[in-house]
Amino acid sequence: MSSPLRGAEIDACIHRIALSRAEPSAALRTPISPEQERRQSEADRHRREVIERLKSLHPDAVKSIGPQHTVELMGGGVALILQPRIIDNPSARRSASVQALLRVGRSGQQFSYCPLIVKNHEVTEIASSRSLHEGNFERLLPTDVVVRKGIGLRSTPTVRRDGLILSGAVRILQGVGYCDPGNRGAIIDRHQRLWWLDLAETNLPRINLAAYDALYRERIDVLRALDEWSDVGGPFPTSPYWHRECLTCEFSSHCQGELESADDVSLARFTNLNQQRALRQAGIETRAKLARLDPVRAQRARLGGPPDQLHSEDVLSPVIERLDELIYRARAHVRSSFLRIVEPQSMGCPTADVEVDVDMESFDDVTYLWGAHVTLNRPVADLEPGYHSFVEWKTLDRMSESRVFVDFWTWFSEVRQQCHDQGRTFAAYCFWAQAEDGAMNRAVSNSLDGGPTIEDLEAFRRNTPPEWFDLHDFAKQQIQTEGPLGLKQLASAAGFEWRDENPSGEASMLWYEIAVGGDSSLSALSRQRILEYNEDDCRATKALRDWLNGPAKQLAHRDDPI
């Protein structure tokens, strides 16, 4: 019999679930990347820190040593059980590993518990019409909360999985007889804030118990089919399809070739398994067929326009919310090129006599490097083109972050002033201003003598005429890709090449650890690598801007028929 369904598998790829239990050969597995290793290491470190904090605040907490021990601890009414593993009744075939079980009630001799998980990522977002219940580490009770208005759960796949893991743990606790009647669970996020969730609530349709139950039934069916295959043979019970885990899945190399050779429709980003099934049922098995659908008809169907005759677009639009966008992404793949969204005369972005492309690098949410590349389209006295960096390698804290930013801002403001004094127009650019603006705001929160204030930053951002531009916004409005809309993809299409063979923000985290490590020779090489990567990111932003203002206007339009 196949091993039980683990908590984190509740929304995993069903083919991966099957392969991990019955793979023909271990050689199918792709080794974990250094970036994945670091991410896992950071998550483990965060969990350890939170658990140690809980232990210090609750010295009577008991660490579980296994599933049976967990049941014994719950039976004895232990107030806080750390690192428990819980297993449902054998017929249910599911288990869960959470970071804690919190005793929240008692009925006669029976105690009730809520599951708690610890995650090293953002869990909440600003949401004016929603609210969340924030708990505290000292009491750990769902009744001892503060209502935080204007905050809601993020809608990311990661947070969705968090909620589903909690729902699964609740179902297991129900099965073994120790569940909180209120069906509540808690998440501690990367900032060590504790959030309580009512997992029976209908206003959490993506993560509540009903959502969990539907996914659970489907995956249990896979385990049963796998058992039958193991006993009697025949075709393998699952087949490859694209899933959001593919980029990090150990079986990706096993599946990718088969999907690409078939031009499988699941490769059109981004769909879930139910949507992919709907496409196949409608006879749309490949990206090429998807690209030939009519996006305008799909838009009309989405907006509720009555069809004069039922077409595939009318059938699929209720199932796939943005079918038109999916069709456009398939068209970009079929044409092997990005496409225009607007007419050529509407493309491009503002330019200036002096252009400064800005990028920053951070580690553990602290910015240690600001870089800028200056382009002179008209000469300015005492100003040279090229790359400038402002960096701190010795310390990494909020004060060092502020000092680095003050150095950058002083230089940046002087360049602006030189341009204004000499009658030159000035513009600065970044890609994804949310990151740069957030780092700037954070840096000025620790005021330094002579440093800028939040008012200075806002004055710059609101300047008339504008002098601060987010190229991501321009690209999003003008360019259709087959999926990602990141700087690496866009600038590469513009012909830009990074010097590093593995340019990514996540990889730069590994480089930083080496750069500040004890080996001086490796540190020097890694520091240079980071500076070159930062410079290339700045130059890539310029390359993207030049492309939008020129060659990109020659791209085919996404509404051009295939």
267: amino acid identity, one letter? L
Residues 230-258, buried b or exposed e (16+ Cβ, 10 A)?
eeeeeeebbebbbbbebeebbbbebbbee
Instruction: Say how far apart CA 115 and CA 168 lie, in whole Å.
Output: 10
Whether 338 contacts 403, CB under 8 Å: no
| Percentage of the residues of the chain whose pLDDT score is greater than 90 | 89
pLDDT of residue 307: 63
C-alpha distances in angstroms, 216 versus 182, 223, 231? 21, 11, 23
Q: Which domains does the chain have, with CATH numbers?
A: 7-11+43-214 (no CATH), 269-334 (no CATH), 346-554 (3.30.420)
- The string of DSSP letters for 260-324 reads HHTTBGGGSSS--HHHHHHHHHTT--BHHHHHTS-HHHHHHHHTTPPPSS--HHHHHTTTSTTHH
Q: Which two tokens stand for residue 336?
A: 């092997």
For range 238-267, the mean pLDDT: 94
Lowest-pLDDT range of 245-254, 467-476, 541-550: 245-254
pLDDT of residue 235: 92
pLDDT of residue 305: 65
Whether 374 contacts 427, CB under 8 Å: no
Is the predicted pLDDT of residue 170 greater than 90, yes or no?
yes
pLDDT of residue 31: 81
pLDDT of residue 310: 82
pLDDT of residue 519: 80
pLDDT of residue 24: 58
pLDDT in tens, 16-27: 999 999 865 554
pLDDT of residue 397: 94
Average pLDDT, the chain: 95
Instruction: Say how far apart CA 562 and CA 558 lie, in whole Å.
Output: 9
Instruction: Say how far apart CA 184 and CA 168 lie, in whole Å.
Output: 11
pLDDT of residue 35: 87
pTM of the full structure = 0.89
In this prediction, residue 222 has a pLDDT band, given cuts at 50, 70 and 90, of very high
Helices marked H in 109-208 — which ranges?
157-176
Is the predicted pLDDT of residue 232 greater than 70, yes or no?
yes
Instruction: Say how far apart CA 111 and CA 91 lie, in whole Å.
Output: 24
E strand or H helix that includes residue 454 = helix 454-461
pLDDT of residue 253: 87
How many C-beta atoms lie closer than 10 Å to residue 101's C-beta? Answer: 27
pLDDT in tens, 484-528: 899 999 999 999 999 999 999 989 999 999 999 888 889 999 999
Integer-rounded Cα Rg, in Å, for the chain is: 27
pLDDT of residue 306: 64
Which of 509, 465, 503 has the alpha carbon at shortest distance from 487? 503
In this prediction, residue 33 has a pLDDT band, given cuts at 50, 70 and 90, of confident
In this prediction, residue 29 has a pLDDT band, given cuts at 50, 70 and 90, of confident
pLDDT in tens, 346-396: 999 999 999 999 999 999 899 999 999 999 999 999 999 999 999 999 999
Q: Which of 18-22, 244-248, 257-261 has the highest mean pLDDT?
A: 257-261
Instruction: Say how far apart CA 284 and CA 313 lie, in whole Å.
Output: 11
Q: What are phi and psi of 19, to 5 degrees?
A: -60, -40
Whether 422 contacts 380, CB under 8 Å: yes
For range 177-202, the mean pLDDT: 97
How many C-beta atoms lie closer than 10 Å to residue 449's C-beta? Answer: 5
Instruction: Say how far apart CA 503 and CA 498 lie, in whole Å.
Output: 7
Question: DSSP secondary-structure letter at 379?
Answer: -
